[in-house]
Amino acid sequence: MHHRTSRRTLLTATAAAAAAAATGVVALPGSAQAAASAASTDSRLKRLIARMSLEEKVGQLFVMRVYGHSATEPDQADIDANLAEIGVRDAAELISTYHVGGIIYFAWAHNTRDPHQIADLSNGIQRAGLAGRTPLPLLVSTDQEHGIVCRVGEPATLLPGAMALGAGGSRSDARTAGRIAGAELAALGINQNYAPDADVNVNPANPVIGVRSFGSDPESVAGMVAAQVKGYQSAGIASTAKHFPGHGDTSTDSHTGLPVIRHTREQWAELDAPPFRAAVAAGIDSIMTAHIVVPALDPSEDPATLSHPILTGILREELGYDGVVVTDALGMEGVRTKYGDERVPVLALLAGVDQLLNPPDLKVAWNAVLGAVRSGEISEARIEESILRILRLKTRLGLFRDPYVTHRGVDRTVGVRSHLATADRIAERTTTLLANTGSLLPLSRRSHRNLLVVGADPASPSGTTGPPTTTLAGAFEELGFAATALSTGTAPTQAKIAEAVAAAAGKDAVVVGTYNVSATSSQRTLVSALAATGVPVITVAIRNPYDIAQLAGTGYAASLAAYSWTDVELRAAARVIAGRARPEGRLPVPVQRADAPAQALYPVGYGLSYRM
């Protein structure tokens, strides 16, 4: 690892001016001191902004992806990808060319191989930022929601995702999860997390949110969101509530289309707004926009990301939020449907956005904003408002004082035993038992020792865990069972179903991991065929908890919801099945009957327990 940059190198004259905002304030009583400190900070930051070129100002508005494990020496394949998509070779060249204010990490961009590498990449990015004409540290961000959206994987601690935490119902656990996740990200040099998800998932068919939401009750979601914000803040990183004004009631994925939400203004205020109000009250650092249309909030039917009535009228003026507003990724189809890539970033800034996240073509977007300022369509004062918010956040995070991390800090924080143990205990409190015919569960090793584990094996959210059937089988083995794993997939063929039925012969029970079962899914056929053998079948929904409604009549004996297929949640489900932990989770969303969707099969708060 590179040595820590010296204080003399780090604090050049311009950066020192901003750094001084955090120190040396004359003591004043209470709020007066806070007000004086804020005024002093703004004064110093405005002087810093005044020294920036227009190109540097425009660059501060962008948060961009970049390929590679290193800021200066990525692999050749990543250099080629960067040249093809961005026109630069590496992160350092991206920063020197476009003066971007932030960089976002993705596993698929090869940014997150292992903890020491991530820390080195983060330090290289900060060195590049401080080497510019106006030395500026960067916001390094990622989507580390945990559960099904996770960019940094093992050996970092993986925690239950939002809906699992909602099932656990403990705000303390939500806060603890945020604190652990935040501490580990901070140790890696990642200072802005695009979490928690503040959407209220009231549509079981929602293809993009689902278990990323804490649940369907606005007040419960609001409480969990506030708890997670406090957890992240206590770890010293920025958190981001998303996706404003609320993405929970859509059947369209904004990655591939433009969702329209038909809530009235009153329904929005009752259903969607409470978690965002709670986030603002908790001091949320940033809020992410949604690429959705809400006609009741903006009759023009512009996506919320581009809507002045929504972002300025409601978020800024009605909710009183003056923190950083970041777009969802600008390469998503939802924001590109109505306007071209050249107009989208300009319209977003005019709507009230501060950060432009991951445009598909940075050169086009950057030049479009530069041209809009030079032509007068966007005033320089307008973008300076956003830059001030961004620099305030960087100051609060201490990035002007010292943006670097160390390998020692990584080793003392990331994936440590206490964090892993806490994640396991939290996960146990989230697993939800929905059906238990004849009190089959908990399984006894004396009567049901020989198990077959079959089902879906979706790719790991972080690329570091699973596959789920193997993970479950391994967890049962560790608990003293004999377990065989057989992957049957999300759409098992007749041949694969026949193979599973043959493998069930002589087994004492079969555990089936199900994944978003539909009315026509062959996963239903698999469960029915296995149950017909007479061997008890236990289903575990490894994503959305709605699977049980589609499995009615298939003959399963017991059914659980795990809310994700990462190892921590699967191990917890195995311990619950084996009786090493009690099923404490309660549904945070209702499960409707498949044959009568207006009727609840299982209401919010439902969940069985063991008599032990």
pLDDT digits (tens, 9 = 90+) for 416-435: 999 999 999 999 999 999 99
Give the residue among 68, 73, 66 at the shortest CA–CA distance from 100. Answer: 66
Is 407 catalytic? The answer is no
pLDDT of residue 459 exceeding 80, the answer is yes
- Span 19-48, mean pLDDT? 70
Give the residue among 259, 251, 246, 272 at the shortest CA–CA distance from 335. Answer: 259
CA-based torsion, 255, 319, 196, 38: positive or negative: positive
Which tokens is 28 given?
A: 């004043």
- Span 298-322, mean pLDDT? 97
Beta strand segments in 19-94, E: 62-64
3-state secondary structure of 244: strand
Helices then strands, each counted (H, E), the chain: 24, 18
- Span 439-461, mean pLDDT? 97
Instruction: Give the separation between CA 268 and CA 245, rounded to whole angstroms.
Output: 8
Strand partners, 509: 451
pLDDT of residue 15 exceeding 70, the answer is no
- Span 16-34, mean pLDDT? 50
pLDDT of residue 609: 96
**Distance, CA of 316 to chain centre:** 23
Q: Are 197 and 239 in contact (CB under 8 A)?
A: no
Strand partners, 385: none
Q: What is the pLDDT of residues 143-179, one digit of tens each?
A: 999 999 999 999 999 999 999 999 999 999 999 999 9
pLDDT of residue 38: 85
- CA distances (Å), 441 to each of 48, 453, 507, 536, in order? 64, 16, 16, 11
Length of the chain as a residue count: 612
pLDDT of residue 409: 98
**Which residue is listed with tokens 């004082």?**
401
pLDDT of residue 10: 35
Quick one: pLDDT band at residue 11, thresholds 50, 70, 90? Answer: very low
**Distance, CA of 59 to chain centre:** 25
- CA distances (Å), 308 to each of 110, 185, 317, 385, 592, in order? 36, 33, 11, 15, 37
pLDDT of residue 337: 87
3-state secondary structure of 239: strand
Which tokens is 152 given?
A: 């940094």
pLDDT of residue 447 exceeding 90, the answer is yes
pLDDT of residue 33: 77
Instruction: Give the separation between CA 585 and CA 605, rounded to whole angstroms.
Output: 9
Quick one: pLDDT band at residue 26, thresholds 50, 70, 90? Answer: very low
pLDDT of residue 16: 40
- Pairing mode of beta strands 238-244, 192-193: parallel
Quick one: pLDDT band at residue 30, thresholds 50, 70, 90? Answer: low
Catalytic residue among 114, 255, 308, 341: 255
Instruction: Give the separation between CA 372 and CA 531, rounded to whole angstroms.
Output: 64
Instruction: Give the separation between CA 306 and CA 352, rounded to whole angstroms.
Output: 8
3-state secondary structure of 222: helix
Which tokens is 415 given?
A: 């994936």
Which residues make Cβ contacts (< 8 Å) with residue 391, sequence separation at least 6?
A: 18, 45, 48, 49, 60, 136
- Span 363-373, mean pLDDT? 98
Quick one: pLDDT band at residue 29, thresholds 50, 70, 90? Answer: low
Instruction: Give the separation between CA 548 and CA 242, rounded to whole angstroms.
Output: 28
- CA distances (Å), 125 to each of 95, 204, 568, in order? 8, 41, 31
Instruction: Give the separation between CA 297 and CA 273, rounded to whole angstroms.
Output: 12
pLDDT of residue 21 exceeding 60, the answer is no
Q: What is the pTM of this model?
A: 0.93
pLDDT of residue 499: 98
Q: Are 247 and 259 in contact (CB under 8 A)?
A: yes
- Span 360-372, mean pLDDT? 98
Give the residue among 86, 95, 157 at the shortest CA–CA distance from 121. Answer: 95
3-state secondary structure of 224: helix
pLDDT of residue 210 exceeding 50, the answer is yes
Which helix (DSSP H) or strand (DSSP E) does residue 191 occupy? none
Instruction: Give the separation between CA 46 and CA 196, rounded to whole angstroms.
Output: 31
Q: Are 523 and 464 in contact (CB under 8 A)?
A: no
Is 255 catalytic? The answer is yes
**Which residue is listed with tokens 């510019």?**
132
Which helix (DSSP H) or strand (DSSP E) does residue 57 occupy? helix 54-60
pLDDT of residue 35 exceeding 90, the answer is no
pLDDT of residue 17 exceeding 60, the answer is no
Q: What is the mean pLDDT of the chain?
A: 94
**Which residue is listed with tokens 């995702």?**
161
**Which residue is listed with tokens 């306007």?**
339
3-state secondary structure of 432: strand
Q: Is the peptide bond before 245 cis (omega within 30 degrees of 0)?
A: yes
Quick one: pLDDT band at residue 612, thresholds 50, 70, 90? Answer: low
pLDDT of residue 524: 97
Instruction: Give the separation between CA 588 and CA 214, rounded to whole angstroms.
Output: 7
Catalytic residue among 328, 457, 547, 567: 328
